[in-house]
Amino acid sequence: MHFGEHLTIDGYNGDKKRLCDKELVLSCLNELPELLGMHKIAEPQLVVFDGNGAKDPGGVSGVVLIAESHISIHTFTERRFLTADVYSCKVGMDTTFILNYFTKAFGLSEIEHNFLLRGTRYPRQNIS
């Protein structure tokens, strides 16, 4: 038994126009929780960032809190790169669906991903 599941995504050679589209990032944060059977507990937060040096040329960052945890997206437009996290205490995450979703939404040509089990020693009951 484990507490949750965490999928990390690194997407390469994305469509530059889509990666800088703040409305697309916002749309993904609004619709993905429902598509995964999860529940938003706050409206997504979004920032367009100009960058902070040679390593980070800027892009769009957003996060949505869900009852099950969170989903975050960070784009790096000039590098045609995206990172995303889907973390949920709901067990049985459909990683194939999520990877296909991000690939299609941002026109990614390559993805690296990691799937982690979180809280493998999560207590079965409250501790007094």
**Residue 53, domain member (yes or no):** yes
CA distance 27 to 46: 11
**Taking the mean position of all CA atoms in its chain, how far away is CA 108?**
14
Active site residues: 69, 74, 89
Whether the Cβ atoms of residue 41 and residue 63 lie closer than 8 Å to each other: no
Q: Which residues pair with 4 in a beta bridge?
A: 118
Residues 39-92 have pLDDT tens digits of 999 999 999 998 887 788 889 999 999 999 999 999 999 999 999 999 999 999
Identify the CATH number of the domain in which residue 80 sits: 3.60.90.10
| The pLDDT value given to residue 53 | 78
**Residue 126, domain member (yes or no):** no
Secondary structure (H, E, C), 42-80: CCCEEEEECCCCCCCCCEEEEEEEECCEEEEEEEEHHHC
Q: Which residues pair with 55 in a beta bridge?
A: none
Its domain, for residue 83, covers 4-118
For the chain, what is the domain count? Answer: 1
Give the residue carrying structure tokens 């993904």.
28
**Residue 112, domain member (yes or no):** yes
pTM confidence score: 0.94
| The pLDDT value given to residue 1 | 82
| The pLDDT value given to residue 68 | 95
**Residue 45, domain member (yes or no):** yes
Mean pLDDT in the chain? Answer: 95
Tokens of 11: 């997407």
Q: Which residues pair with 49 in a beta bridge?
A: 59
